[in-house]
Amino acid sequence: MISAYVVDDERLAVQRLTRLLQETRRVEVVGSTTDPEHALAFLRDRLVDVLFLDIQMPGLTGFELLEQLDPQPTVIFTTAYDAHALRAFEVNSIDYLLKPIDPERLVRALEKLSRLSPSQAQSKSADIRALARQLVAELAPQRKLERIASRVGERTTILEVARVTHFFSRDKLTFAASGGRDHIVDYTLGDLEAQLDPRRFARIHRGTIVNVSMIQELFPDVDGSVLVRLKDEQRTQLCVSRDRVRDLKQRLGI
């Protein structure tokens, strides 16, 4: 049996990948988390055969997590980056899985892993830092909005976009919800939709854009509509337009 650990900041993505791995009957998932800091604590004390690791996570990216591990485990990246940007992975023969993960593609990745000798696996892990630099260069022209200003009177607050749970419009104003507060921003939702990273943010309603990594669960409302509950302390609930439910489910891999 292959021992595996799963790290992804989206809880539903962790659950789905864990289920897919268990269904192969070839993998023992010895742990999983949505918090890369928890992953660090676990992996520093225990070796695993393979780490399934998301790249883009708020707070600590997949590459930053790996840089703090010594020795570095064999990694299969799980990511929403497109195939063109991921040619760096193919050149380095380090495997990756595009979200939502295809079960057949997962099986092929496990077969590839089983054919690696210990020395080959160690060599591939040593390429990770070079790969990180190459991938950043690949994606540089496509960089999206990373910080946003909220001005109230003479005070300006700078918000990290990755920590914004959602953007919403109310009374002809646009707000960014972050840190338990609603901050007025000088953008329309249309402007934000054009400038935010489409891999991380989704328009779920004409009045709402959500940070997909902040979604904790998706569930039906009493009137038959669909709601999402966020991971914030307020456990915020947001309505999903009927015509956007299918796209959101695809984004979440469900």
The domain that holds 127 is classified in CATH as: 3.40.50.2300
Q: With H, G, I as helix, E, B as strand and everything else as coil, classify residue 2.
A: strand
Q: What is the overall mean pLDDT for the chain?
A: 83
Residue 90 phi/psi, 5-degree rounding, is: -65, -40
- Check residues 45 and 30 and name the one with the higher pLDDT: 30
The tens digit of pLDDT for each residue in 211-253 reads 998 999 999 988 878 999 999 989 999 999 988 998 888 888 7
For residues 63 and 16, membership in a common domain is answered with yes
Residue 36 shares a structural domain with residue 120: yes
Q: What is the CATH number of the domain that holds 179?
A: 2.40.50.1020
CA distance 194 to 125: 36
- Among the candidates 142, 175, 206, a domain finishes at 142
pLDDT for the residue 92 = 45
| CA atoms of 217 and 30, how far apart (whole Å) | 23
Distance CA 30, CA 3 (A): 6
- What is d(CA 43, CA 50) in angstroms, rounded to the nearest whole number? 11
Of 126, 142, 158, which residue is a domain's last? Answer: 142
Between strands 173-178 and 166-170, the pairing is antiparallel
Residues 85 and 126 in one domain: yes
Rg (CA), the chain: 19
Cα-based distances in Å from 184 to 4, 173, 188: 43, 7, 11
> Which ranges of the chain would DSSP assign to H, the alpha helix?
11-23, 36-45, 62-67, 87-92, 103-114, 118-126, 128-139, 189-195, 245-252
In this predicted structure, the answer to whether residue 72 has a pLDDT above a threshold of 50 is yes
> Do 179 and 126 contact (CB within 8 A), yes or no?
no
Residue that finishes a domain, picked among 89, 120, 142: 142
Domain that holds residue 36: 2-142
The total domain count for the chain is 2
- For 138-185, give the secondary structure using H, E and C: HHHHHCCCCEEEEEECCEEEEEEHHHCCEEEEECCEEEEEECCEEEEE
CA distance 172 to 228: 23
Residues 106, 211 share a domain:
no
Lowest mean pLDDT among 22-26, 58-62, 87-91, 176-180: 87-91
Written as six digits, the tokens of 194 are: 């054009």
User: Whole-model pTM?
Assistant: 0.54
Strand order of the β-sheet with 226-230 is 215-220, 226-230, 237-240
Q: Is there a single domain that holds both residue 131 and residue 118?
A: yes
